Structure 1
Amino acid sequence: MKWLKNLPGRLYAAYALLLFICMMLIMLLPMWLVSLLPAPLDIKYFTTLGRVWVHIYLPLIFCPVRVKGRQYFKSEGPYIIVCNHNSFVDIPATFYAIPDASKSLAKKEMVKTPIFGIMYRVGSVLVDRNDPESRKQSFVDMKEVLQQGVHMLLYPEGTRNKTDDPLKFFYDGAFSLAVETKKPILPTVIFNTRKILPVGKGFYAKPHKIDVHFLPPVEVDGLSMEELKEQVFNTMWDYIKLWQ
């Protein structure tokens, strides 16, 4: 009986969702107050609140996070953090692991989402992917984020990787941004988040430890956009294959 076999996973998913909603409601007021601050104070305090949230939430749902390579954040200047994308759990995992303020790229329509809209407005650079002007503006906004000393977190695969390969094809955006701003890329690999939310299982989850590994930074000098993209892709692909 399939429904009985999946029952523990559905009960766990309900527990994780209910706890997430409760904690989100608790954090809503301080996050709204932080959103009123001028940049870059808004994102710096916002990410601090976010880290507090996930440092409590992830252990409570029995998904401890282990981090390697955090020492790379001791160097000067912000990074363009390039990360693989396997699950929605990647978002709280990166909040947990990144020790400094960071923004990510998000779809503009997410601002209309009740409650979440505030979080996306502060914590993300927003883009309408169907609007060329919006895409151009998002590039300008990401450069401004880096100029403020805040990291940009980007998922170059574009969407979650549901294939059996370690990575999907990389889009150009993160690497064009790196070449233009001369900011180094910090390749980042997340393991095991797909095991928490298996592909194709619907309302189902199971607890599992999460590993976030920051790899050595890749400097941009002397590399074209295509060369940079290929180097980062190969570095992450080989690392995932090594650890799987």
Structure 2
Amino acid sequence: MNLKQIKIAIYATYLTNKYGFKLKKVKNSQEIFDLRLEYAKQLLGKLNISVEVINKEKIPQDGQYLVVSNHRSIIDPLIIELALENSKINGFWVAKKELYNSFFFGTFTKNAGTVLLDRDASNMASFFKDTKEVVKQGHSLYIFPEGTRNKENTPLSSFKEGSRIVALKNRLPILPVYIKSNANEVLNDAINNRTKGLKVQIEIGHIIEYKDKTSLEENYRKQFIKES
């Protein structure tokens, strides 16, 4: 790592833990969402990355949804936060156990409005109970249906079936969003080259009804992925 990379790594660690401890003191959901957005703006601002929203008019101004997105970089949640900032859609992120145990993200993840997904658990009853409680409180849910970051040279990897089950159990219409830019490449450019004026494009799709029996992945691909 060169000096610039070390400085960015130190700053990101500091900022993430700073907001993690700030969030730990907050009990009100709206304050959590506000702090989360503030964190996203500060970190992406430091990285000189802006977010361009395509089809912004498709963003519902209110209501509860299962927001689903492709996943290629660690900054994807921040991109989605900024994309939806002018709507009243506020949600809890579905977060893997690995993030809860992470030195870098742990404190932040545990306190930033998340639902723990432990894929090693013997059953998922606790997870679905937690999602129902979030929805009962009037919030949306955000999830990456691929389950983990897509590190292959493809626009999308296979979806896990669990995302559609979350929508069904909570009767949540699905709001699909697609991060068109390879955000991981943009992030690497920001860290390695400190390039100015970087941009990530994110596209808003049409609402998918939770009762739709077509697979979520198929619906998503039809909206965003142009097969060659």
TM value normalised by structure 2: 0.82
**Cα distance, 1:112 vs structure 2:** 3.9
Match of 2:118 among 118, 125, 128: 128
**Cα distance, 1:15 vs structure 2:** 3.1
**Cα distance, 1:29 vs structure 2:** 4.1
In structure 2, stretches of 5+ residues that fail to align are none
For CA contacts below 8 A with separation 6 or more, give which structure has more relative contact order.
Answer: 2
Describe the superposition over 1:35-75 as per-residue Cα deviations: whole angstroms up to 9, x where unpaired: xx2xxx33x21121011122122122111122234444445
Q: Which runs of 4+ in 1 moved over 6 A?
A: none
Structure with higher Rg: it is 1
Name the residue aligned to 2:77: 91
Amino acid at match of 2:166: L
Name the residue aligned to 1:4: none
Give the root-mean-square deviation of aligned CA atoms: 2.8
The answer (yes or no) to whether the contact 1:196–1:206 under 8 Å persists in 2 is no
170-179 vs 91-100, which deviates more? Answer: 91-100
Aligned mates of 1:103, 1:16 — CA distance in 2: 27
In structure 1, stretches of 5+ residues that fail to align are 1-6
Are 1:30 and 2:16 matched, yes or no? Answer: no
Amino acid at match of 2:8: A
Name the residue aligned to 1:56: 42
Relative to structure 1, is the Cα distance of residues 54 and 235 closer, same or farther in structure 2, using a 3 angstrom cutoff? same
Aligned mates of 2:187, 2:33 — CA distance in 1: 24
Name the residue aligned to 1:153: 142
Alignment of 1:60-139 (within 5 A): 60-99=46-85, 100-114=89-103, 116-122=105-111, 123-133=113-123, 135-139=124-128
Alignment of 1:188-207 (within 5 A): 188-190=177-179, 191-197=181-187, 207=195
Aligned mates of 1:153, 1:87 — CA distance in 2: 16
**Cα distance, 1:25 vs structure 2:** 4.6
* SS, match of residue 77 in structure 2: helix
Name the residue aligned to 1:236: 224
Name the residue aligned to 1:17: 9
Describe the superposition over 1:106-138 as per-residue Cα deviations: whole angstroms up to 9, x where unpaired: 2235334457433222321112211123x2311
* SS, match of residue 119 in structure 2: coil
State the aligned residue count.
220
| Identical-pair percentage | 25
TM value normalised by structure 1: 0.77
The answer (yes or no) to whether the contact 1:104–1:154 under 8 Å persists in 2 is yes
Aligned mates of 1:160, 1:115 — CA distance in 2: 17
Aligned mates of 1:70, 1:144 — CA distance in 2: 29
